[in-house]
Structures are given as structure tokens and as C-alpha cells.
Structure 1
Amino acid sequence: MLKRLEQRLKLKMIPAVFYTSAALAIVFVAIAAPFNEPVAAFFADVTGWISTYLGWFYILSVTGLLAFLIWVAMSRYGTIRLGGDDARPEYSTLAWFTMLFAAGIGTILMFWGVAEPMTRLANPPLAEIEPGSQEAARLAMSISLYHFGLHTWTIFTLPALAIGYFSYRHGLPMRISSIFYPVFGERVHGPIGWTIDIIALLGTLFGVAVSVSLGTLQLNSGLNYLVGLPTTHLSETLIIAVVTGLAVISVALGLDRGIRRLSQFNIAIAVLLLVFIWVVGPTLFITKGLVENVGNYLSDLPWLAFWTETFQETDWQRGATVFYWAWTISWAPYVGIFIARISRGRTIRQFVLGALGAPTLFTVLWFSTFGLAALNLEFERGVALASQVQEDVPVALFSFLEQYPLATLSSLASVVIIIIFLTTSADSAALVVDLLSRRDDQPSQTHQRVFWTILLGGVAATLLLGGGLDALQNVIITLGLPFCALLVFMAVSLSRALHADYLGYSLKDLAGGRAPDMNIMGEAPSGEDKGTEPFMEDRREQEEKPRE
């Protein structure tokens, strides 16, 4: 029966991944929508346990992965290309950079650009720092850059690098499970690989759904300011429906006509907004502060990267760093595949330095401009922005813009930016989820991408109905934990594959135990000459699950 349905609907997918992931997401929506309070309470309990006993694992893992990426880029492996030795980038550096933000943290910057510094000003992490003080302001900027700088892009860059390497250099499918070929061999094309891809697919759905939910809250606040739209669940549901509809149109147009053009248009508007605030705001204060922020960030980064609240009994990290890492980790499969998809031909060194450096630089510029301008309003003009943010986080950006000339125009531009960022995030996610759920020899089907886009909108609406920001944090911290462990194993698998590649051994040799022990000098053992030719096998029978 399922076979006939697939033929009628012209579905192209791996049945075990597609049906399991879709069923679990639909069951979550079906249960959580009518029973949102018990579901929210369950995730709150699980999150409390994770934060207490495993918060340190999130902190240590992300910092360790950052060190690993820097080592890989600077090592002898840095000259390896994602593809053949003659491969060259498909997209220009500028187009590549704008598309990084299509799948990356465009919505996050819009939501937290003002809210994050103001929140940390009112609620500093260290008990000895007085809320609202100058020291709290200085640390608030460092924490903002810590939360959205190098560590965030580490979580995106590692899976992107691993996927690009295994796909373009060794011909494996562009799926998360392919990264584990050196460990599991051909078993990644069976139940083990399916399980990994299901975790990645669900993480993508829920991670992007959280971002769509947060963006919806912010859009509702902006539209309330502009046109008086009430901030109710009905309004939020309508906004999600509109964003989902726009994403459906974009996903039907495809990567080049839809996502790329929207991304380039949106990043241009975002830069104009940034320049506008820098010009009409406290220009000298922002410029001086930008320089100081870089120094403070680099100075505070070593202790922030390893700080786990050991010597103070607070719950600060649960709602801050642990939430951000879990949230970003839930995006990692989707952003990783998307970035890999647009990065063929770049060397590992170019890729790592570009994917870490360029977005982090833009993040520093963004938070320094909006964060410092907001702090100036708080300290110099007596605007109680921090207290407003504490009462209503989504309204932060619009309360901030209201203090400057052309408030209505800048707020309208912000609404447009948020809508486009949400649209590109949703359609990029649908493209990646579709890729995760079908075989590499099957063409992408528009109606399948539309299905995933609509399901993502349903999950976003359900999460919003389940209790707002606190509920979103609890769900994502819980769902991010399994993939955090997968990220660590990704680094191990990638390092083994790179070393075998350098010594002249193929992935099949490595997975089959035929590659010798690697010596620290990188010298290949004599007597054998192993190649690293890409390999592609027909996995149709392995990936087809028997069904009636």
C-alpha cells in the first residue's frame, strides 16, 4: 500500500528516514497542541536535569571543537580541497558570505542585537557584579560576542566541513550519516545511518522552528508598533502561516532563484540599517567601543569558554549559554549541509577561516553598533531600555529604534529583514531536510520540500502555543543533547579520515581496518600504494526498507 502511495505521489525518499521523522514530528504536534502544559512541564524537568548534570558537557564540547577547527585549518590538511585538486569555488566570496547568513544567524542577530546586551546588563553572570553598572555593561558586550561569535560558528562550521569533505572528496551522499563512514563503514547506509539522519532531521525541524517562533514574537511586536496588530496567539499563528507561505514559494523556486537572491537583497538592507544606526546614533562612542569590544572579547574569551558556574549557585547558564549552544547545535545539521552545498572547491583552510572569520567579524560589527547604541541610551539619555527588555524581550529592537529619527521607516525595514530571514531559514531547512530523507541518486521533488516547509510551520506554531520563550528554551536544550555528542564523534571521524587521506589510504581501507596506524610524522608505510579515488556504489537495495 505504501509503495502504491509513493508511486502515486511520486515520492523520492529513504522510507525509514522519511516516514519515521515525519511521524515523530506529526505526533509531537498532535500531542503538544492540546496538552501543551503537561508537555511544557516535562521538557522543563528534563532541561533542569541536563543543565545541572550535563551543562559542563555543552561548554567543554563547543570550546574543544573550536580548538580542533583551528588546528585543522593550520595543519598540513589545510590545503586539501573540498573536491578534486583542480576544483574551484562555485560561488563568489561575496555571494558565499551572504548565503551563510541565509542559513546562519540572520534572524538571531535581529532578535538579540539589542536584547542580548540589555539582558546581560540587567542580569550579569557573576554574583559580584552589580546589575546596571559600568562593569556589567562591559561584560554584557563580551558575553554577547561569546554567545554569537566564534563558538556559534564553530557549531556550524564543523559539520559543514565534514560533510563537504566526505561528499566532494569521497563521493558519499551529502548526509550527516556519511561523516561516520570511517567508523561504521557501509553500515551507515542501514539502520545505524538512518538513526543518525533521523536525529539530524528532527534537530533541524525543531531548531529552525524555534528560530521561526522567536522571529514571530519579534514580528508581532514590530507590527503592533507599526499598525497596532494585537500580540496574541492568533496573531502569532497568522504570522507563521504567512512566513510558511512565503517559504513555500521560495522553496519552489530553488536555491539560485529563491534563496540566493533573497539572501543578497536582505543582507544589503541589514547593512543599510547597521550604517543608519552608526550614523544617527552615538558614532564616536560606537567606533571607540568597537575597538574596545574586540579587546575585551579576546581577553574574556578564555575564562568564558570554560566557565561552568562551579563556585556560585545560580541558574544563569541554563537560560543563556547552555540554551544558545543547544539551539545552535540543533541547527548544525541543516546549516552544515547548506554551507557544504555552497562551498565546493574551497580549501579546508579557506573554508574554516572564512566560515569562522567573516561571520564573526560581522557579528562584532552588529553587536557593537546596536549593543553600544542601546547602552548609550541607557546610561546617557536615561531610557530604561533594560527594564523594557526584561518585561518583553521581542520588543527590544523596536523600543530601541523608537529613540532615533525615522523610527517608523527603520522599524518597517526591520520587519522586512526579519520576514526575509525567516523565509530563507525555513526554505533552506526544507531543502536540507529533503536531502536528508532521500537517496543521493534521487532527484529533489518540489512537493516533498513543500511538505517539510509546512510541517516546520506547524511545529513552530505548536512550540509557541506551548508557553513562549521559556518553553522554547526547554525544548531545544533537551533535543540538542544527542547531536552535541554526534558533533564530538564527527571531529574524531574527520580527523581519522584526513590522516588516512594524507597517507594515501581510502575510506574503505580505513573503515575495513586495512589502513595502518598513523604515525605522527604523517609518513606512509612502505610496500603499499593506496589511492583516494572517490567511490559511489548503488545503495538502492540497502536503503530500501521492505514494506507491504
Structure 2
Amino acid sequence: MSVAGENEPENIIEPITTYEMGSDNIRPFGLDIHNPVFVISSLVIIAFVLLALMFQEASAEFFGWLRPTLTSQFDWFLVISVDIMLLFCLVLIVLPVGSVRIGGKDAKPDYSYAGWIAMMFAAGIGIGLLFFGVLEPVYYQFSEGGNASPLGIDQSLPGNEYVGVVGTIHHWGLAGWCVYAVVGLTLAIFAYNKGLPMTLRSAFYPILGERIWGWWGHTIDILAVFATLFGLTTSLGLGAQQIAAGLNEVFGLEQTPALTVFLIIGITIVALGSVLMGMDKGVKRLSEINMVMAVALFLFVLFVTGVGTAIARYGSVMVDYVQLLPALSNPFGREDTSFFHGWTTFYWAWWIAWSPFVGMFIARISKGRTVREFILCALIAPTLVCALWMSTFGGAAIDMLNTGGAEGVKATVIDSYKPEGALFGLLKELPLYGIVAPIALILIVIFFVTSSDSGSLVIDTITAGGKMDAPVVQRIFWCTLEGLVAIALLLGGGLAALQGAAVSTGIPFTIVVLLMCYTVYQALKTEPR
């Protein structure tokens, strides 16, 4: 039902509560499909899977070319865009609109703080902390000739002992989480305060008006599906490779492509069970288990490597991070091309590709929170926690390497680049390896499952026109398709293919997220505080 005339987006000032999808939804076999978005997205993705599996060699060559080409050509655009998003979030914290409550003045939170933050972390961080926590700081710190050092800083000089940790925090801190915060806040405000469906097109009502129900809206949602799927499958592929490496370390299983494919299939089946249980029984419970196990692993590493040392290191790297943030956020005149193009611009494209998934997920669970509360919990708190994790794990590995230890880390990161084995290389140096390593393996599996089932819920919501209670069969379809895409990318190019697919969708979606900064501010100005 129409709520405003064509070209009258200013009517967004009133909540929109009479929207119906109408004829755009079809229901074959009892499904609830938003016709163009579901059909086009699914057919294109299925065709992609088939082509990648049929022409694996050509796929590997193409994706090997794609990622470095895109990150070197669009570096300035990605970095400036993320800088704008970060400044926007920081400004919202202090503006009067920060007191606007998601869902209206009387809205109450659906989840406790503990449950809310646990789900937010499980979706937004996922497998990444375990995969990159040791790998990334060590790689920057000990790269050959210092060619991957952030800003070209000489790591051998006194005071630069942890510059690799600082570079890692830059990628996993404020700049990454601001993208999620923008998308999540925008979707939450337009869904819970303005009465629009929780899908990406709704955010563009102030610009497009009623045209969001037509092909403009369809195009935005289709792009969001592609970005979400490829951003998600990058994490799933990394997780599968790390699980295979863990099985090799713990049980001696040979790390082969066949094992990785088997793992993706097996864990996707487990994820289907969580999907069938729904948000509260499935995703929420797994997220809370994730948090408990992750905290336990963190505390173990913290205490056995030295609490005092870890605290001093954390304080030092956080001071360096704040001081170097302006230089790290500047895209011009950079000489550290290996760090900048090989890592930073890839990360920004990946976070943006991942943002529809994380943004919609945290929007769904954030009703009842104020804008200020939402941004602080989705931006500042995760940055501090991610920095603490990277500083503890990566910093401990750097200390061991500087004293001639951590041969397992040296073998997987420095001598021969096998990134999936870096975490287990560190754990080998610590007591109780036979107990801790299997626990870490289980934690990676659960992170894999929560990423997969959360992602399938989000993609299903987009392709069902923003409905959050679409039939279970559709969730099963998308969960299965995620696993197939991850398999196709791994067989058709490995890690380079996963990263190339994420970058190729993240760059065009950057424009969408930038426009969201404008539209959500327009909506917030009309809300009671």
C-alpha cells in the first residue's frame, strides 16, 4: 500500500506501518519468495558455482588476477569511504540524535546485554580472530625486508617491537566496525521506527520514495545478496582451511582439498540444524557457547604467557594505534604498498561485502537500544576487545620468536606461508597442548556454524522482501548454497578466489553504504528523543 506519492521521500518523517509486499511476493510450494530478488540471485549464484567447478583452472587464474587488480586501483576510494563512515559514527555519538531509541521511545530490548553482545561478536568477528590473531601480527613484524610493515616502520628499532600488532588492530578495530555500525543502525531505524521491511532497499526511501518497491529496490537487494554471500563464504572457506589444519596437527589427518570439501559439507549440515531451531534457540545459544569458549581460550593464553606482560603490551599498542591512526587512514603517498594493497584495501572491501550480513543481523537483535548505546557497543567495545585478543595472541607469538622460540609459528608464517596453521603453531608452545588444541578446534567449528546459520537467516530475509519469518525451506536452501559457493571458490582458486570474490562485490557496495550515512541521518532527525 502506498504511503507517499512518487518523488515525495520527505514523508519518511512519519512511521510507515501499512506496507505490504503485494504482488511482488509469490508462494510456490508454500514458499514466500520476493520474486525478482530471489530468482535472479539464486540463478546467478547457481550458475557461478557450476562454472567455477567446471573450469577450475580458469577460475583460479581469473581470481588470482582479480583481487590485486581491484585493491590497487580502488585503494583511495575504499580508504576514503571507510574514513567517512568512521567520522559519521563518532559524530552520531555526541549529537542529540544519539538519544533516539531503536523501535520508538517505549521500546524494550529483546535480549540481555550479555546475549546481545555475544550474538553481535559471534556474527561480526566469527572465525577471523582465530585465523588472523597470530598470523597477521607475526607476518607484519617479520616480513622479509620489512616489506609488509605498516607505514614502512622499521621493526628492528627500539619501540617498534609490536608494530605488527598495531597494523592488525587497525584492520580489526574502529575502521572495520564502523561499516557494520552504519548498516546495522540504518536497517534498524527504518525497520523498527519507520515500519519498512528489514531489507537494504528500505534504507533508500528518503532518496527514492515509492521507487524502492520497483527495480531500483530489486537491484539494491540483489547486490546485497551477492555481497553478503561472497563476504560470508570467504570466512567459511578460511574456517574450513583452519579446521583442516587443526585436524592435521591434532589427529594427523592429511590436509587435502577433499578433506576441506568434506568439512564444509559436514559443518553446513550442522548449521542447518541450528537454522531449523531459529534465532533464539539456535543462533543465540551457539553464540553464547562461542563467547564462553573464546573467553576461556583467551584467559588460558593470557595467564600462561604472563598477565603483566600482556597488560603492558596492550597499553603500549593502543597508544601507538591512536597515534598512527591518521597516517594509517591516509590513502595518498603510501610507500608501504605490500601492507596497504595486500591487506588494508582487501580488508575494507571484505568488511563492506560482509556488512549486509553483520548489519542486518545486529539490527534484528538491537531493538530497544538507543543510537548512542548501539554505536558504542557496536564500535568502541569490539575494537577494544579485538585489540586485546590480537595483542595477547600475536604479541605472545612475537615475543617467543624474538627469543628463538615458536618454531611452529615460524614454520607456518615466515618460512613457508601456511596461514591456517599459525594458531596451532602458537598453542604448541604452551602447556596442555593435547587439551587446548582440540578445544580450539571445536571453537573454530562453532564459529563456522554460527557464521553459516546467521548468514542464511540474513540472506533469506533479503530475498523474502524483508520478512523475518520466511519458511524454513528457504533458510535450508541458502545455507546449502553458501556451502556450495565456498567449495566452488576453494576448488577454483583457493584463498585468492575467496578474497577476489569478496573484493569484487565489496567495492560497488561501498556506494550503497555511503548513501546509508545520509539516509539514516535524515530519518533520525525526525525521531523523538
Whole-angstrom CA distance in 1 between matches of 2:225 and 2:506: 12
The answer as to 2:492 corresponding to 1:466 is yes
Q: Is the 8 A contact 2:169 2:386 kept in 1?
A: yes
1:347 and 2:367 matched:
no
| Aligned residue number for residue 316 of structure 1 | 339
Matched-pair contact (CA < 8 Å) for 1:222–1:398: yes
* Equivalent residues of 2:100, 2:528 under 8 A apart: no
Q: Does 1:169 align with 2:193?
A: yes
Match of 1:203 in 2: 227
Give runs of aligned pairs for residues 48-59 of structure 1, distance below 5 A. Answer: 48-59=68-79
Q: Look at both structures and tell me which one has the larger radius of gyration over its CA atoms.
A: 1
- Amino acid paired to 1:346: R
Aligned to 1:81: 101
In 1, Cα distance between the equivalents of 2:461 and 2:335? 45
Residues 267/190 of structure 1: CA separation in 2 closer, same or farther (3 Å cut): same
Shift of 1:143: 0.7
Give how far 1:441 is off. Answer: 5.9
Corresponding residue of 1:431:
457
* 1:57-96 Cα deviation digits (max 9, x unpaired): 1111111101101111210101111111111211111111
RMSD across aligned C-alpha pairs, in angstroms?
1.9
| Partners of 1:129 and 1:135 within 8 A in 2 | no
Contact 1:121-1:132 within 8 A present in 2 as well: no
Give 1:353's aligned amino acid. L
Distance 1:220 1:134 in 2: 38
- Contact residue 244 and residue 457 of structure 1 kept, 8 A: yes
Q: What's the CA shift for 1:319?
A: 1.9
Return the alpha-carbon distance in structure 2 between the equivalents of residues 208 and 442 of structure 1.
19
The aligned amino acid for 1:324 is Y
Residue number in structure 1 paired with 2:295: 271
- Counterpart pick for 2:259 among 235, 240, 261: 235
Closer, same or farther in 2 for the Cα pair 1:135/1:479, shift >3 Å? farther
1:493 offset after TM fit, Å?
1.5
Aligned to 1:403: 429
1:334 corresponds in structure 2 to 357
The equivalences for 1:15-414 within 5 A come to 15-123=35-143, 124-125=148-149, 129-130=153-154, 137-308=161-332, 310-312=333-335, 314-384=337-407, 385-390=409-414, 391=416, 392-414=418-440
Determine the C-alpha separation between the residues in 2 that align with 1:471 and 1:132: 34
TM-score by length of 2: 0.90
Amino acid across the alignment from 2:519: S
Alignment: residue pair count: 498
Percent sequence identity over matched residues?
37
Partner of 1:416: 442
One-letter amino acid of the counterpart of residue 40, structure 2:
T
Contact conserved, 1:89 with 1:345, CA < 8 A, in 2? Answer: yes
Q: What secondary structure does 2:253 align onto?
A: coil
Give 2:39's aligned amino acid: Y
* 1:385-406 alpha-carbon deviations (Å, 9 max, x no partner): 3452142110000011000111
Q: Distance in 2 between matches of 1:30 and 1:102?
A: 31
Kept in 1, the 8 Å contact 2:63–2:496? The answer is no
- In 2, Cα distance between equivalents of 1:223 and 1:29: 27
What TM-score does the superposition give when structure 1 sets the normalisation length? Answer: 0.87
CA distance in 2, matches of 1:441, 1:235: 37
1:465 maps to amino acid: L
Q: Residue in 2 aligned with 1:535?
A: none
Shift of residue 408 of structure 1?
1.7
Contact 1:120 1:136 in 2 (8 A): no
Unaligned regions of 5+ residues in structure 2, if any? 1-22
Query: Closer, same or farther in 2 for the Cα pair 1:153/1:302, shift >3 Å?
Result: same
Superimposed CA distance per residue, residues 235-289 of structure 1 (whole angstroms, 9 cap, x where no aligned partner): 0000001110011000000000001011101110110110001111133321210
Aligned equivalents of 1:28 and 1:447: distance in 2?
Answer: 22
